[in-house]
Amino acid sequence: MSRTMTQNQNYQLAIVEDDPGLRELLYEELESNGYQVSSYGSSEDFLASLTGNQPDLVISDIRLPGMSGMQLLEQLQQRKIRPSILLITAFGTVSQAVDALKHGADDFLTKPLDLEHLLLSVERLLEHRALREEVSAYRQQRQQTPFGIVGQSRAMRMLFQQIEQIAGADGSVLILGESGTGKELVAKALHQQSARKDQPFLAVNCAGIPADLLESEFFGHAAGAFTGAQKSRAGLLKEADGGTLLLDEIGEMPLALQAKLLRVLQEGTMRPVGSDQEIRVDVRIIAATHQNLEQKIANDEFRADLFYRLETFSLQVPRLRQRGDDLELLANFFLSDLQQKQPKPVRSISAEALDTLYQYTFPGNVRELQNAIERAYTFCDGEVIQASHLPERIQSFDAPAVVDSELAVERGADDDLPSMQDLQQQHVQRVMDFTQGNKRRAAEILGVTRRTLYRWLAQEGDQ
């Protein structure tokens, strides 16, 4: 068998068989392979036992006294979440078993039973069931992510509200945020929620194109405009006509090109390189950057008039460390995504691993978390991701104490100053008093998860 007995202990199996000898044989064989097993002599006895948790797999004879296996199948089919069903049939009723498959049974075996074949069938059905559950959870998770962006924290709810408000307008948008926060996802969400959603969405990284090629990339060129330009080219602005163009890392755009982009925004026209004709374009510009554009303006590295034009609407994407419990939500989302793309027995993330993730500051934000989960998933050889599977920099990170910079530090008569831990405890208590003990609200104000807050409170109680 490919699964271990420890893994089999996660599954509950029920045997419904009126033959005491066969029922006992099946019970002993399945239990010896690590499964949790219960057995019943009739369908009625089995159904009467279903008061709470139901088994993952039911193994039932078709011919039973009272309610038959086929009738039991019909009963189980009506349940909101039904178990997998393996039917046992005598050779003479194979056609009946085939009919049962058409009505929802998952497999059938004929008597006399080959126990090795039985175990293989049981394992296969349970694997298929686990896969169905994962796919269902994945789809449900996708449906619960507004605009395809995972997040339930207060900071993200505010962002979602802003996206809804801005998407319907048609002015330029400036998206600000650290690298890895998901600025392109926000841009796509704005496009998908707008009247332009059926038109092109194009994204270009201004830092990823050589400066001497940027103008041609954006505005296109006429044939013969420069050496190598054998054919005319439309350019990104024209290709995105009617739709949306995301200019990622807008702060890296050369000043000369900024002036030409400003003209497009103001007049809705552009001139391809080497052409003497103006072309009208209708495109919504969304710009994104992790840089401080106002500082770049002060350094004469960015045009103030373009900045003011772009920030008709401005969105700030929060850092991962500002999103509280979204970290765990995102970690499990990335795990589900990996389970679909690269199926492995890995099912969950341990509490210790989550605590380790919460201690880390994630300068690379959501992208860094995604990479960390992918790394852990790859190196995990069991069912649960442990802290040891995470990147070394995360495992060895020493979290600094959190201190309120506005707290006044008063000297005593002997000039003693409070420790960092004392200041942290004072500030945590101050916030707890302010929220009247509401830990969820306190965690949001402190910018940490409730898990971290509980640990701090526990440490204070141990003093």
pLDDT tens by residue, 203-238: 999 988 887 788 888 888 877 666 666 677 888 999
At CA 316, angle to CA 143 and CA 304, rounded to 5?
140
Q: What is the mean pLDDT of residues 63-86?
A: 88
Is a pLDDT exceeding 70 seen at residue 325? yes
- C-beta of residue 200 within 8 angstroms of C-beta of residue 239: yes
Nearest C-alpha neighbor of 17 from the set 118, 95, 120: 118
96 Cα distance to chain centroid: 44
Q: Report pLDDT for 119.
A: 93
Strands 173-176 and 201-205: unpaired
For residues 366 and 181, the answer to whether their CB atoms sit within 8 Å is yes
| Confidence band for 447, pLDDT divided at 50, 70 and 90 | confident
CB of 160 within 8 A of CB of 149?
yes
Give the integer Cα–Cα distance in Å for 260 and 201: 21
What average pLDDT score do residues 47-64 get?
Answer: 87
407 pLDDT band, cuts 50/70/90, is very low
- Helix or strand or coil: residue 202? strand
Q: Which CATH architecture describes the domain 420-461?
A: Orthogonal Bundle (1.10)
Question: What is the average per-residue pLDDT within 43-63?
Answer: 88
Delimiting residues of CATH 1.10.8.60 domain(s) in the chain: 321-395
Q: What is the mean pLDDT of residues 434-456?
A: 76
Quickly state the pLDDT bin for 125 (edges 50, 70, 90).
very high
Closest CA to 313 of 429, 192, 412, 166: 166
Q: Which pTM value belongs to this model? A: 0.62
Top pLDDT among 89 and 459 is at: 89
The neighbouring-strand residues paired with 107 are: 86
Q: pLDDT confidence of 102, banded at 50, 70, 90?
A: confident
Q: Is the pLDDT of residue 187 over 80?
A: yes
pLDDT of res. 223: 73
Residue predicted with more confidence, 139 or 20 = 20
Contact 109/117 with Cβ under 8 angstroms? yes
How many angstroms from the chain centroid is the CA of residue 138?
9
Superfamily of domain 5-142: Response regulator (3.40.50.2300)
Q: What H or E segment, with its residue span, contains residue 456?
A: helix 450-461
Its sign, for the CA torsion 423, 400, 352, 322, is positive
Integer-rounded Cα radius of gyration of the chain: 31
Stretch 165-194: mean pLDDT: 95
**DSSP 8-state symbol, 206:** G
Mean predicted confidence (pLDDT) in 444-456 = 77
Contact yes or no for 228/222 (Cβ under 8 A)? no
Asked whether residue 284 carries a pLDDT value surpassing 90, the answer given is yes
Q: What residues contact residue 6 under an 8 Å CB cut-off, 6+ apart? A: 34
Q: Using CA of residue 155, residue 158, residue 164, residue 167, what is the dihedral sign? A: negative
> At the topology level of CATH, where does 321-395 sit?
Helicase, Ruva Protein; domain 3 (1.10.8)
CA distance 444 to 188: 27
Confidence of residue 145 (pLDDT cuts 50, 70, 90): low
**Percentage of residues in the chain having pLDDT higher than 70:** 87
Percent of the chain with pLDDT over 90: 47
| pLDDT in the model for residue 414 | 45
Sign of the C-alpha dihedral computed for residues 372, 374, 378 and 381 taken in this order:
positive
For CATH 3.40.50.2300, the residue range(s) in the chain are 5-142
Instruction: CATH 3.40.50.300 in the chain: give the residue spans.
Output: 152-318
Residue 184 has pLDDT above 70, yes or no: yes
Lowest mean pLDDT among 173-187, 204-218, 317-331, 363-377: 204-218
Among 195-204, 224-233, 341-350, 352-361, the minimum mean pLDDT is found in 224-233
Of the pLDDT bands very low, low, confident and very high (cuts 50, 70, 90), residue 305 is very high
Task: Give dist(CA 14, CA 69) in Å, integer.
Answer: 13
Mean pLDDT of 193-207: 94
Task: Name the least confident of 29-43, 87-101, 308-322, 340-354.
Answer: 87-101
Asked whether residue 45 carries a pLDDT value surpassing 70, the answer given is yes
Domain with CATH 1.10.10 in the chain: 420-461
Q: Which has the closest alpha carbon to 457: 422, 423, 421, 429?
A: 429
The predicted pLDDT at position 433 comes to 76
pLDDT higher at 364 or 347: 364
Architecture of the domain made up of 152-318: 3-Layer(aba) Sandwich (3.40)
